[in-house]
Every structure is written in structure tokens, then in C-alpha cells.
Amino acid sequence: MGSRQVKPSFGKNEMERRLQLLYQITSQTKKSLNEQLNNALELTTKLLDMEIGIISSISDDSYTVRNFFPADSGLSEGQVFELGSTYCSITLQSEEVVAINHMKESEYERHPCYAAFSLEAYIGIPVIIDNEVYGTINFSSSQPRKEEFREYDYMLIKLLGEWAAATIKRARIEDDLKEKNERLELISTNSADLICLHALDGVYEYISPSVINILGYSFKELLGKNHADLIHEDDLEELKGSPYQELKDKGVVTNVRYRIKNKKDEYIWFESSVKTVVGEDGSPIGLQSISREVTDRKRLETMFEQAQEMASVGGWEFDLESGKLFWTDEVYRIHDKEIGSEVFVDEGLNYFPDEAKEELEAAISRTINTGQKYDLVLPFISEKGVNKWVRAIGKAHYESGKAMSLSGTFQDLSKQVKYEKRIIAQNEELLKLTKTRDKLYSIIAHDLKGAFFGIKGLLGILLEDIEAPDIDRESIKEKMNMVHLSAENTYELLENLLDWVKIQNGDASPVIEQMDLKGLLLNSISVFESAAVNKGVQIESQVENIFVHGDQNMLSTLVRNLISNAIKYSDKNSKVIVGIEEFSNYINIRVKDFGLGMSADVKKLLFNKEERPQRRGTMYEKGTGLGLLLCADIVEAHNGSIEVISEENKGSEFIVSIPKAKK
């Protein structure tokens, strides 16, 4: 341009001076970047014999002073001028070095800067950073140049401009990094996460300041130490398995949990994600880890898992799009299936028997179509073939009106169902006992009342006969015999009632011991000899020396009831046969009479507690039917059986079979 007047040659010494200046400027490694810029302005201003040196930034029409020399120039850092009022407006238009030796004699004598500041000499160049104008570096003086600017001055300014651009860019980057580092340090210090860089063998190379809050160590205490040295030995072995292999294969592993020792020698739970750091050639050069303490979360999860296990409740989720089914550990345990093994919906449904499976499938389909939650209690067969009862609850999750997934709970109710069945059985037993009690009350109210009413009536008649003026001794004797018989029958009834109540209430368990069955039968026969004689009935015994294991008192009650009934229902001048038969594993006690006998309908009701027949004997002896019920219970307590052979008007035979072996 017209202002540039360059001499055709220049001195070698001047060139060397400028090269030395550039070397001096670029070698300022121990100074800050701002100090380097200020020093460059000072050295160049003096070398060019100028009065002022400025580095400016330009934005729109504003010209801002960033660095200047000398300090007493009247300028200040951050001072702003209109761009049009500075010679730099000329420099920006040229986009290269602008040098003016004598402004008054140049084409720019009317420039506003000359009018305002009367600066006669000027040299400057735009500072370009990343292809954008940052500002200018320029030097000016109030006196014209004695010697015109030479080619080496242009070269100096051009190189100086490039150096200034690089230095300012570096300052920007350093400021940027400093700000980022300050933010990173603030974040990492107060973060719940611990950020670390490791060598490939796990040795710490960088640790974020948050380590002091998380583990209690300073970063200096851990630098150079191996991360593995702090991990619990049991967890370390586990980490060397699938997590290490995943990191090796994929270059990253996430959310791995393990215990790590803090400075207090306490183990806390960590959750870490580790990534392989690779070099420019793609080969691994280190590891980066981000970790956080999850001790409280782990404790809550453990408590939740324990609560689930105690309640036998697990959770499940089914993705309708992917078909993937997820079970919690407790659901695996309920199925008796290996925890973590892959599961499918069809497989899960096959654990239910046919009808239960159909019911569950229908419920799932209804939930997907309507959104209605299902809650079912169903039979279930585990992987090991164990029969269980489970409660299955499920609900659907929708997106844009479409069911996307199902989730719910799965609970083992086997114990509860077992207890419920037991309670139902106990309630039924209680109801049965209540009915039995009511029946006993009815028997006591009816049978005993009737027996004592008969005795009372006979005694009243006897009192009248005794008071009569002419006493009929034979009549009184006959009535006394009747009173005696009624008393015996009432006593027998009372004994049977007491024995039966004991058995029904579970208070009478058989005391099994070896005993002489022949002696027991003969003693029982002797009890009824007088009654048999009074009725003209002969008791014939067919017994041998046989020993059996049983409860002597119970079997005595059994035999007495059978003999008593045989006499009661025998005709006068007939007989009763009492005998024993021995077989290899059991014995039979047989009691046979030749009296009334019974029809098939009566025989069918003999051992029915609700409708037992109550027939009178051949001499109108009262019968309650309770004795045979007692006999049936005694036989059952001895694991035996009772058989009745009877025909109407031809007598009856009762055969009791009892195992010979000790029970």
C-alpha cells in the first residue's frame, strides 16, 4: 500500500538484532503468559525506537486495550476506544503489516486518530486466532520516523503478531483449563463419586479429592498403591471372575459391587464402573473408575431381601415386547430353581397343574386386555417336585394405550394353606366334639334320668307295700329284685358313659402290655354269673391260655359289654358262648347268643353315633346302644376290627379281631 516505503536493502546487524529479540521473546518460559506479552511489547517498542506498544482486542466497533507499554503512557488495561478513532482500523482493512513513517505526509493525514492524538509514526498487524480477528499488536510514536521502516521491521512485526496470537490462544486454553479444573476439583471434592485413574495393574495414578470424604485417605496416601489391596478378599476372588472377563472383552464393566476398606479399617460397600483407557494406537494404557459408597443402600437391600425371604415373597417382571422374564432371588427359591438361571414364560406356567395353569393364563390375558389386576392362590409344583401353594399377583403397565410389560409378586403360601387346612380340620373336629357333647348331654338327660326315675318309682311302690296292713313279702321281694336290676343297669350305663367320654376327649390312650387273655375272659364271665342265673341263661366258655398285647382295662370293658348284651338279648333257658381263637398274627374274641337277633336295618345302625338303636332285652331290660359305641372305639384304639353276624330271632355273634403284635 502507499504508506509502505521499504528500502531495497537492510543491514545485517539490524536483522540480527531483531532475530535476537524474537529469540528473547519466545524464550520467556518462566514468566506468565501475560508477563510475556508485556515484556514483548517493551522490548519491541525500544528496539523500534517507538513510544507506545499495544496489544488490543476488537469486538464490533470497540477497541479494547489488553496489554501496553510503558506504564505511564496514560493507558490502562481494559480501556475502550471507538475502532474508527484508532489507526488499527486501517490495519484491519489491510489484513497485513501496516507501517506509516510520517502520518502528516501520508494519505491518512485526515484520520480521526491523527486529529485526536497527533501520532506521526505507526506500525501494526492484525492478530488472527483460529482464522478469526482477535485484535492487533501495534506500536506508535508522536514523532515521525527518522529512518523509514525496513523489510526486517515488517518481518519482525509479522512474526511478533503470530507469536502473540499463539500466546494469547495458549492463555485462553490455560484459563479455560484452569476454570474447568477448578470446577472439576469442586465437583470431585464434594461429589458422592470417587474418580480415579489406574495403571493396568490397578495402581492408583490419580484420585479425586472426594477420597477424603469417602474413604478417609488423602489422595497422596493412596497414590502408587494398588486398589486391589483395599478390597475384601472374598469379593476380590469374585471380581477376578466374570467382571474382569467382561472388562477385558468389552472394555467396560458397570455397577460392580464389592467391599472396600476405609482408613478406619472398616469395610464399606462400593459400586464401581470401570472403563479401559486406550492410546492413539487403540491399545489399553490404563483404567478409569468411577465409584460411590452404597453401604446404606446395600443394608436396605439386604433387609428387604431378608424380609422377602422371611415372608416368602418375591418380585417378577415380564417385558411383552422382548419376551424377557425377570425373577428376584426369592422367586427362584420358591421354584427350587438355580438363582440367576434363564427363565421363560412358558416354563414358568408349566409349574402349575392343568386347571391352575388355565386359570392363570386366562387371568394374564384379561390383565393385558383390560388392565385389571389379578390376585390368585393356586396349587404349584416346584422344580424338585414339591407340592406347594402360591399367591400370584400381577398388573399391566401401559404406554400410549398399549400394554408393554407385566409385573407383580409371587409368594409361597404353603405354610399358610397348611395351617388353614389344619384350622378347618380342627374346627370340624370341634364341631364334631360339640355334637358328641350335646349327644352325651342328651344321653345323660334321657337314659340316666329314665333309669333313676324307674328306681324312684319302684322304691315308692315298695314304701306303700311296707305300710300296708297285710304285707305281701313275695311281692316286695320281686320289686326289690327289680330295683336291684335297675340299679345295676344304671351303674353299667354310668361306667360306659365315663369310659366313652374319656375316649372321645382323647384322655384315654391304651396302655399296651402283655396279659393273659384267658384270665381276663373268665373274670368277666364271673361278673355276670348271678345275672345269667336269674334269667336262666348258661354261659359257656371256650377259652385257652393265650397271651396278647393290649390295654387290660379297655379289653375288660369291651368283653363285659359284649357279655352283658348277650345275656340281655338272650331268651330264658338259653346259653351264651364266649370263646377265643388264635391265628398267626391276630386273635379273635367271640361272644354268641341265641336270642332276639336283629334285622339288617338294625345291624347297619349299631355303630352309628347319631342313630344308634336302643332296644329292650327279652325281659324288657333297657338298652342305650352306648356300650357298642364304646366297644368300637376300644377296638379302633387296638388297631383291630369288629364283625357282627346276626339274624332276627336266631341270635347274634360279635367277633373282635385284635393283632397279637405289640403296638
Taking the C-alpha atoms of residue 656 and residue 589, their distance in angstroms, rounded to an integer, is 5
pLDDT category of residue 468 using cuts at 50, 70 and 90: confident
pLDDT of residue 95: 79
Single-letter code of the amino acid located at 591? V
What distances in angstroms separate CA 118 from CA 2, 111, 122, 143, one per listed residue? 20, 10, 11, 9
- Structural contact between residues 334 and 312, judged by C-beta atoms closer than 8 angstroms: yes
Instruction: Supply the DSSP symbol for 146.
Output: S
Contacting residues for 113 by C-beta, under 8 A, at least 6 apart:
85, 86, 87, 119
For 162, other C-beta atoms within 10 Å of its C-beta total 14
Contacting residues for 331 by C-beta, under 8 A, at least 6 apart:
314, 315, 316, 410
Q: Which residue has the higher pLDDT, 210 or 53?
A: 53
CA 64 to chain CA centroid, nearest Å: 67
pLDDT category of residue 72 using cuts at 50, 70 and 90: very high
Residue with cell 345295676: 488
Single-letter code of the amino acid located at 653? E
Q: Which residue has the higher pLDDT, 433 or 572?
A: 572
The pLDDT tens digits of the residues spanning 192-201 come to 688 889 998 9
Entry pTM = 0.36
- Structural contact between residues 88 and 138, judged by C-beta atoms closer than 8 angstroms: yes
Taking the C-alpha atoms of residue 429 and residue 269, their distance in angstroms, rounded to an integer, is 55
Taking the C-alpha atoms of residue 607 and residue 654, their distance in angstroms, rounded to an integer, is 13
Helix axes 473-504, 414-443, angle to 10 degrees: 170
Taking the C-alpha atoms of residue 333 and residue 328, their distance in angstroms, rounded to an integer, is 9
Single-letter code of the amino acid located at 629? L
- Structural contact between residues 55 and 126, judged by C-beta atoms closer than 8 angstroms: no
- According to the per-residue pLDDT averaged within each range, which of 2-11, 401-410, 461-470, 602-611 is highest? 401-410
What distances in angstroms separate CA 402 from CA 320, 363, 374, 406, 500, one per listed residue? 10, 17, 18, 12, 69
pLDDT category of residue 5 using cuts at 50, 70 and 90: very low
pLDDT of residue 517: 87
Q: Which residue has the higher pLDDT, 562 or 609?
A: 562
Taking the C-alpha atoms of residue 312 and residue 305, their distance in angstroms, rounded to an integer, is 10
- From the list 49, 8, 58, 36, the residue with the least C-alpha distance to 160 is 36
C-alpha torsion 422→423→424→426, nearest 10: 90
Q: State how beta strands 374-381 and 538-542 pair.
A: unpaired
Residue 485's region, left for phi above 0, alpha for psi from -120 to 50, else beta, is alpha
Of 29-43, 113-127, 523-537, the poorest mean pLDDT is in: 523-537
The pLDDT tens digits of the residues spanning 115-164 come to 888 899 999 999 999 999 999 999 999 999 988 999 999 999 999 999 99
The pLDDT tens digits of the residues spanning 299-310 come to 766 655 555 555
Contacting residues for 430 by C-beta, under 8 A, at least 6 apart:
none
Taking the C-alpha atoms of residue 447 and residue 627, their distance in angstroms, rounded to an integer, is 13
pLDDT of residue 8: 41
What distances in angstroms separate CA 414 from CA 61, 393, 417, one per listed residue? 86, 16, 5
The pLDDT tens digits of the residues spanning 368-423 come to 999 899 999 999 999 899 999 989 899 999 888 888 899 888 888 888 888 888 88
Q: What mean pLDDT comes out for the span 457-481?
A: 77
